[in-house]
């Protein structure tokens, strides 16, 4: 019982400080009185919380002030550079990287082209990117709190091993999370790239404010990121959304790039096929119509089982919304009593990287708050 009495003030203090910090983040520049009004916490308690947060360098006084009279009030803002996040998107031909602060502002952004789709080269590229990005940002490299990396495969949460990889040699079965942590000397979190694309759209894209949606990536293969109740759904093994395996049920019906090439005949490039369809080529239009039908066949099970509000189409093929949205929508209206809304990704190639930064910012904000008394 005595330990409970001692713990209660600490828990209440932490709760008050967290609430004050969140209020400042959402309303800066903001005065002490306004913090108290918005948070519902008394002014004396707000003052105590502010003192602690100022000492921890998580907030600071600012000369900036909102519109309207200030009457001599002191205003506060969060210290965005209290920690920074390194986000990375590992693909078959590139590594995209960015550093952002706790406010989500990108401070540096660079891409590195890979000479070969090989895991060892990707690790070296990531090491180089970490150095060049921190130099370009002008920030102290010791401020990097978290590294989040999107990879084209299933990530085993317990081991950090990457599975079900098709387009990066040497990545299958590799304990990449631990390898990168050793190489960078930083905490690293791996996540499936399509899952991160979904989180990127939720943070800064077309899925903002949507609790139940699917991000469908259609490029060299297919993958889906599933968000239910506002949270990413990974499944028991981290393999939720690996829609390629569902092709068995559709007897190989696949709208990805290799199948577009096969449908068009020979070595036709999917971009050329969609370009020809825009020009009115009947054969190309027939291919696009079949692609739309196949996309609808993959969307329908998600919509029927989870009753999602939105499906976001991404990837090189999914980006062709001008040709795909209407026919896919018509097919879904025929298949389902409550078809989802369809949109094309507003983030495009930046979706995975944006999701990596979103995950990193959330983690770093929690970490700096937890460490504030150390």
- Residue 39's pLDDT band, with cuts at 50, 70 and 90, is very high
- Alpha carbon of residue 55 to chain centroid: 32
In percent, the amount of the chain with pLDDT more than 90 equals 80
What residue ranges of the chain are covered by domains with CATH 3.30.420.40?
Answer: 83-196+352-370, 206-346
Is domain 206-346 in CATH 1.10.580.10, yes or no?
Answer: no
What residue ranges of the chain are covered by domains with CATH 1.10.10.10?
Answer: 2-78
State the Cα–Cα distance between residues 194 and 212, nearest whole angstrom: 16
- To 10 degrees, what angle do helices 43-55 and 2-27 make? 80
Give the CA count within 13 Å in the CB-facing half-sphere of 7. 4
Q: What is the pLDDT of residue 247?
A: 64
Residue 81 has pLDDT above 70, yes or no: yes
Fold held by 2-78:
Arc Repressor Mutant, subunit A (1.10.10)
Q: How far is CA 123 from CA 179, 323, 324, in A?
A: 8, 38, 37
Task: Please identify, in words, the CATH class of the domain defined by 83-196+352-370.
Answer: alpha beta
* Mean pLDDT over the full length of the chain: 92
Q: What is the pLDDT of residue 166?
A: 77
- pTM reported for the whole predicted model: 0.92
């Amino acid at each position: 019982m005595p330990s409970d009495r001692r713990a209660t003030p600490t828990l209440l203090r932490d709760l008050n400080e967290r609430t004050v910090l969140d209020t400042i983040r959402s309303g800066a520049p903001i005065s002490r009185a306004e913090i108290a009004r918005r948070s519902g916490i008394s002014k004396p308690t707000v003052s105590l919380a502010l003192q602690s947060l100022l000492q921890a360098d998580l907030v600071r006084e600012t000369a900036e002030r909102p519109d309207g009279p200030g009457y001599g009030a002191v205003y506060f803002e969060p210290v965005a550079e209290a920690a920074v996040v390194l986000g990375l998107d590992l693909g078959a031909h590139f590594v995209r990287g960015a550093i952002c602060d706790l406010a989500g502002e990108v401070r540096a952004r660079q891409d590195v082209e890979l000479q070969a789709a090989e895991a060892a080269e990707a690790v070296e590229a990531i090491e180089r990117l970490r150095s060049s990005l921190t130099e370009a940002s002008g920030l102290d490299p010791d401020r990097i709190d978290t590294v989040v990396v999107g990879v084209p495969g299933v990530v085993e949460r317990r081991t950090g091993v990457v599975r079900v990889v098709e387009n990066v040699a040497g990545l299958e079965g590799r304990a990449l999370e631990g390898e990168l942590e050793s190489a960078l000397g930083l905490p690293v979190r791996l996540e499936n790239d399509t899952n991160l694309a979904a989180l990127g759209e939720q943070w800064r894209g077309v899925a903002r404010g949507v609790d139940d949606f699917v991000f469908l990536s259609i490029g060299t293969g297919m993958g889906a990121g599933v968000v239910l109740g506002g949270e990413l759904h990974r499944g028991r093994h981290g393999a939720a959304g690996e829609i390629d395996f569902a092709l068995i049920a559709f007897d190989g019906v696949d709208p990805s790039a290799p199948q577009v090439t096969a449908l068009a005949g020979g070595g036709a490039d999917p971009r050329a096929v969609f370009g020809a369809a825009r020009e009115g080529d009947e054969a190309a239009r027939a291919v696009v119509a079949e692609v739309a039908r196949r996309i609808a066949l993959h969307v329908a099970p998600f919509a029927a089982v989870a009753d999602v509000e939105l499906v976001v189409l991404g990837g090189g093929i999914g980006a062709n919304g001008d040709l795909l949205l209407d026919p896919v929508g018509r097919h879904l209206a025929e298949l389902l009593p409550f078809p989802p809304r369809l949109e094309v990704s507003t983030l495009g190639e930046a979706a995975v990287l944006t999701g990596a930064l979103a995950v990193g910012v959330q983690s770093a904000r929690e970490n700096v708050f937890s460490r504030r008394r150390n």
